[in-house]
Amino acid sequence: MTNQLIEQLKWRYAVKKFDNQKKISSQDWKALEESLILTPSSYGLQPWKFVVVQEPKVRKLLTPHSWNQTQVEDCSHFVVFAARTSVNDAYLDFYFDEISRIRGVAKESTAGYRKMIASDLQQGPRSKNIAEWAVRQSYIALGNLMTCAALLKIDTCPMEGISPPQYDEILGLNKTDYRTAVACAVGYRSSEDKYALAKKVRFEPEKLIQTI
Ligand SMILES: Cc1cc2nc3c(=O)[nH]c(=O)nc-3n(C[C@H](O)[C@H](O)[C@H](O)COP(=O)(O)O)c2cc1C
């Protein structure tokens, strides 16, 4: 199991050229969507939306706002991670309704937890930059997606080389409580992608891991 994990993490690389003929099966894609949904978040608030852009015309519009990177149009599935801009009372109402419904608990029993979240995210220092906090949360989902995909031998390319304001406009996120954070192209590497052969550049463990 550990061998397989490390093998797949070494197999994974940021794909520069996808095979535009190879599509992810619906079964595999369903599992990857689950990996997004099952991603943990601070307080369990899930301050994100995963916009899966499958419409070729929309992808074409995104390309010039993605440093013209070909992955946007050539990959099988293109995911835009959008992060919430606020954690307001309406959102907390929604969240606590879900807790109560799913766990079958009375709302009163969660009042203390709600107060704790509010004192941190609505009143505390973190409240000054909720959008940034939510973006950080969304990167956890990005990591989860890439690792889970690698375990299924599915390729990815995480993409920060995009222009979030233009993405927001094209995807209609402007009118919502969400804004583009980062994107990820998912699919299968082209046999012509020479980056697949490049050696991984990673610092020595002593530089990165400090055990105290
Ligand atoms: C958040 C993030 C954003 C990235 N953005 C891009 C990008 O826009 N285009 C690209 O080709 N690679 C992008 N990369 C890939 C990195 O350059 C790559 O992961 C890094 O060089 C390590 O190489 P490896 O992933 O192939 O092991 C990004 C990586 C991360 C984690």
Q: What is the pLDDT of residues 93-120, one digit of tens each?
A: 999 999 999 999 999 999 999 999 999 9
What mean pLDDT, rounded, does the chain reach?
98
Q: Which of the four pLDDT bands, split at 50, 70 and 90, describes residue 58? A: very high
Return d(Cα 151, Cα 173) in angstroms, integer.
31
Total domains in the chain come to 1
Print the domain residue range for 91: 2-208
CA 16 to ligand 1: nearest atom: 11
Nearest residue by C-alpha to atom 15 in ligand 1: 14
Q: Enumerate residues lining ligand 1, CB below 6 A.
A: 13-14, 16, 69, 157-161, 182, 200
CA of 127 to the centre of ligand 1 (A): 30
pLDDT for 131: 98
Residue 199 DSSP one-character state: P
pLDDT for 129: 96
Q: Which of the four pLDDT bands, split at 50, 70 and 90, describes residue 171? A: very high
Q: Which of the four pLDDT bands, split at 50, 70 and 90, describes residue 82? A: very high
Q: Which of the four pLDDT bands, split at 50, 70 and 90, describes residue 45? A: very high
Determine what percent of the chain is predicted with pLDDT higher than 70: 100
CA 66 to ligand 1: nearest atom: 8
Find the helix or strand (DSSP H, E) in which 182 lies: strand 178-187
Mean of pLDDT values over 26-44: 98
Cβ atoms < 10 Å from Cβ of 70 = 16
Helices 2-11 + 130-151 axis angle, to 10: 110
CA of 106 to the centre of ligand 1 (A): 45
Mean of pLDDT values over 183-202: 98
CA of 176 to the centre of ligand 1 (A): 28
Cβ proximity of 84 and 177 under 8 Å: yes
CATH number at residue 17: 3.40.109.10
**Hey, which bits of 45-177 come out as E strands?**
48-53, 77-84, 155-159
Mean of pLDDT values over 149-173: 98
CA 195 to ligand 1: nearest atom: 26
Q: Which of the four pLDDT bands, split at 50, 70 and 90, describes residue 161? A: very high
Q: What is the signed CA dihedral for 117, 123, 126, 132, rounded to 10 degrees?
A: 90
Nearest residue by C-alpha to atom 16 in ligand 1: 14
Nearest residue by C-alpha to atom 18 in ligand 1: 14
Mean of pLDDT values over 57-79: 98
Cβ proximity of 177 and 85 under 8 Å: yes
CA of 169 to the centre of ligand 1 (A): 24
